[in-house]
Amino acid sequence: MKQFKVVIEQHEDGFVAYPVGMNGVVVGQGDTEAEAMADVRSAIQFHIETFGADALGEPVESVTLRDVSVAA
């Protein structure tokens, strides 16, 4: 069993979840946080089954969110 840190974003129309520390793009979504987590868990499993060890990146010890301003 491997553990992943997952970022969960709440949007107007639901939730998006994605793991950090994986190679490639893996995303789950749902109307609730629980649905997004279940979907991302399934997506992670599929990604590992499809790409094997190449799907695994460096282990992530912690995740920090910071604000940054840019001209838009």
pTM over 0.85: yes
| CATH no. of 1-72 | 3.30.160
Distance CA(45)–CA(42), nearest Å, equals: 5
59 has a pLDDT exceeding 90:
no
Distance CA(29)–CA(60), nearest Å, equals: 22
- Please state whether beta strands 14-19 and 28-30 pair in parallel, antiparallel, or not at all (unpaired): antiparallel
Q: Which residue from 62, 69, 60 is spatially nearest to 22, judged by alpha carbons?
A: 60
Q: Which tens digits make up the pLDDT trace of 5-53? A: 999 999 999 999 999 999 999 999 999 999 999 999 999 999 999 999 8
**Domain boundary assignment for the chain:** 1-72
Partners of 10 in the β-ladder: 15
Distance CA(42)–CA(28), nearest Å, equals: 8
